[in-house]
Chain A
Amino acid sequence: AQSVAQPEDQVNVAEGNPLTVKCTYSVSGNPYLFWYVQYPNRGLQFLLKYITGDNLVKGSYGFEAEFNKSQTSFHLKKPSALVSDSALYFCAVRDFGLGSSASKIIFGSGTRLSIRP
């Protein structure tokens, strides 16, 4: 069965420093991986996705993520954090369900990113 793990409930980073939010996954077939961000009192917003091709994926707001097949990871990164990056981040994986042409979606438990000035 597919699953997603975000091992850190919270990540604290000083503004201007690089940040990493970790995600590991388990799927039976090819992974389709996503990162979403949730600001307070808002719905989730799409940041970036990996479908195929280049292992380094670039997304919105200067974020990027690196797909590592051997480590089954898809960590979110940013070279220089901003206070405005403080939010809740979710990793998600999609895979086709058995006997269905529609894909289910599994989200991680979320990582709260806090950037201090």
Chain B
Amino acid sequence: EAQVTQNPRYLITVTGKKLTVTCSQNMNHEYMSWYRQDPGLGLRQIYYSMNVEVTDKGDVPEGYKVSRKEKRNFPLILESPSPNQTSLYFCASSLGGGAGYEQYFGPGTRLTVT
């Protein structure tokens, strides 16, 4: 089944403890992206990647890191999480980075930072 998977689905952590949220897609997609969803704000793009080893900042990259060493994986790293990073996070992928491609979303990761 074609899908985007994320792990973990739920995570509660403490301020400053490094964490990684994994994202993997099995559709051979070039483009991958991370979003956070907050009430009243919709989805905001954190980072995106056109292809392997190519990443770029979205609108809210502060406090996050990403890497794209393999085509299928795009982990999101929080080196020192803070409570304002409590949010619902989505990974997404699309066939290409061109403007006409729709995205496929993972199921989401709900992160709470205390």
Contact = CB atoms under 8 A, between A and B. Distances in A.
Given A32-B99, A43-B90, A43-B106, A105 B41 contact: no
**For chain B, what secondary structure do more than half of its interface residues adopt (helix, strand, loop), or is it mixed?**
strand
A51 B100 contact: yes
Contacts of B33: 105
A49 B100 contact: yes
A12 B62 CA distance: 37
Contacts of B44: 107
Interface size, B (range): 20 to 34
Which of B41, B42, B90 neighbours the largest number of chain A CB atoms within 10 Å of its CB? B42
Interface residues of A, number: 30
A63 interface: no
A31 B48 CA distance: 20
Nearest to A49: B102
Contact of A107 (B43, B50, B104, B108): B43
Interface of A: 6, 9, 32, 34, 36, 41-46, 49, 51, 90, 92, 94-97, 100-110
Interface of B: 4, 31, 33, 35, 40-45, 48, 50, 54, 56, 58-59, 90, 92, 97-100, 102-108
